[in-house]
Amino acid sequence: MNYFSSDFKLGILGGGQLGKMILYNTRKFDIHTCVLDPSKDAPSRLACDAFEVGNLLDYDTVVNFGKKVDVLTIEIENVNVDALETLEDEGIKVFPSSKTLRTIQNKAQQKLFYRDHNIPTADFSRFAHTTEIEDAIENGGLSYPFVWKSARFGYDGQGVKVVRRYTDLLDLPNVECIAEDLIPFKNELAVIVARNSEGHLKTYPVVEMEFHPEANQVEYVICPARIPDAIAKEAELVALKAAAAFEHVGLLAVEMFQTEDDNILVNEVAPRPHNSGHYSIEASYTCQFEQHLRCILGLPLGKTESKVAGVMVNLVGAENHTGNVVYKNIENILAMDGVTPHIYGKKQTRPFRKMGHVTIVDKDIAKARKIAEKVKRTIEVISE
């Protein structure tokens, strides 16, 4: 099929920053794009050929949108999977598939999938409602501390809480959830696996993620991860095993723990471009967003190696600031060598909302990490 400067239409469910960055690359290739998002002010609205406002969880809305395109992809998992299944039945190509997405959307199902496919992951218990956890503790089936995770609709630190004592349970929503062993770990790692419709696979280098202690959000992504080669190889193999088990087409971001005794455990996966791959826009031969397009269109996969070391800093809304956004001191970071800010186009900021990211590239990873800290101290995402 001719995708370039043709009548072919690619549909994207979700018009946030990931969609916007996919669209950088559809523009490069002159691929006609249609985007559906619930917000009329979504970051992707200006970069696509056709933009529609609609609820991604509404069956009819997603089906009607999907019928207008040749291939449908996502930039967010929270979409109506029944609608995707209907579209597949009608011959529309959907990547990731409804089957893959149905499993990944629900963290309890996702964990059971790892268990069934011998993919290493932390031990867990599954509950239909959070209130059942109290009984499990009283009966000795569960003990503190553990990690509570909502089975559905968690993202960017939402729907996750470390529970160390009874009082930590009191404010949690009464929803389907899991209680997962709290793993002592040295590092949080991630590997992005690219798999096209022919089944060809490539991995990006292992990255290391440093988290904000309060917001439970990634603050820094460091590529390559500062870990021994043997650990990196093991992480890569586990990620490849996960991608093959899902029979996934597209990108699969596999987040993992490196435990104190150097075992690799899968934390969770995302079947789309991911925060842990943003560094690739500046640092890699083929950025993750172009690679995603290559995967879902059945094109040859691009080179995944890095040209240079990269560190990514997330720009999130400052605490105590809600309203029209202002990027304070952005000129100062633009004056630093190897620093590239990406502003997502969200007009309203609020505490810890992802508003952009900054990539720092350098031949020396230690130097890049030092500049990243300076960037973090310098730029502020505040309101007017």
Which of these three, 181, 198, 224, is where a domain ends? Answer: 181
Q: Give 218's pLDDT tier (boundaries 50, 70, 90).
A: confident
Whether residue 265 sits in one domain with residue 146: no
Q: What is the pLDDT of the chain when averaged over all its residues?
A: 95
Whether residue 317 sits in one domain with residue 215: yes
> Quick check: bond before 228 cis, omega within 30?
no
The answer on whether 188 is annotated among ligand-binding residues is yes
Quote the pLDDT of residue 211: 83
| Residue 2 is assigned to a structural domain of this protein | no
CATH code of 37's domain: 3.40.50.20
Name the strands in the sheet holding 323-328, side by side, starting at the edge strand that comes first in the sequence. 348-349, 323-328, 380-383
Global confidence as pTM: 0.94
Whether the predicted pLDDT of 216 surpasses 80: no
Report percent pLDDT > 70 for the chain. 98
Report percent pLDDT > 90 for the chain. 91
Please tell me the number of Cα atoms within 13 Å of 164 on its side-chain side. 0
Whether the predicted pLDDT of 153 surpasses 90: no
Whether residue 252 sits in one domain with residue 160: no
Whether residue 138 sits in one domain with residue 54: no
Q: Give 212's pLDDT tier (boundaries 50, 70, 90).
A: confident
| Residue 100 is assigned to a structural domain of this protein | no
The answer on whether 134 is annotated among ligand-binding residues is no
Whether residue 189 sits in one domain with residue 174: no
Whether the predicted pLDDT of 198 surpasses 70: yes
Quote the pLDDT of residue 238: 98
Whether the predicted pLDDT of 219 surpasses 70: yes
Q: Give 156's pLDDT tier (boundaries 50, 70, 90).
A: low
State the Cα–Cα distance between residues 359 and 354, nearest whole angstrom.
Answer: 15
Quote the pLDDT of residue 157: 61
Q: How many domains, the chain?
A: 3
Whether residue 89 sits in one domain with residue 133: no
Please tell me the number of Cα atoms within 13 Å of 49 on its side-chain side. 16
The answer on whether 267 is annotated among ligand-binding residues is yes
Whether residue 292 sits in one domain with residue 214: yes
The answer on whether 107 is annotated among ligand-binding residues is yes
Closest alpha carbon to 188 in 204, 207, 172: 207
Quote the pLDDT of residue 158: 72
Q: Give 215's pLDDT tier (boundaries 50, 70, 90).
A: low
Collect all residues with Cβ–Cβ distance below 8 Å to 306 and sequence separation of at least 6: 205, 223, 224, 280, 283, 284, 285
CA 314 to chain centre: 13
Mean pLDDT calculated for residue range 34-60: 97
The answer on whether 85 is annotated among ligand-binding residues is no
End-to-end CA distance of the chain: 49
| Residue 117 is assigned to a structural domain of this protein | no
The answer on whether 268 is annotated among ligand-binding residues is yes
Collect all residues with Cβ–Cβ distance below 8 Å to 106 and sequence separation of at least 6: 151, 152, 176
CATH code of 149's domain: 3.30.1490.20
Whether residue 329 sits in one domain with residue 245: yes
Whether the predicted pLDDT of 4 surpasses 80: yes
Mean pLDDT calculated for residue range 301-323: 96
* CB atoms near residue 257 (< 10 Å): 21
The domain containing residue 163 runs over which residues?
A: 123-181
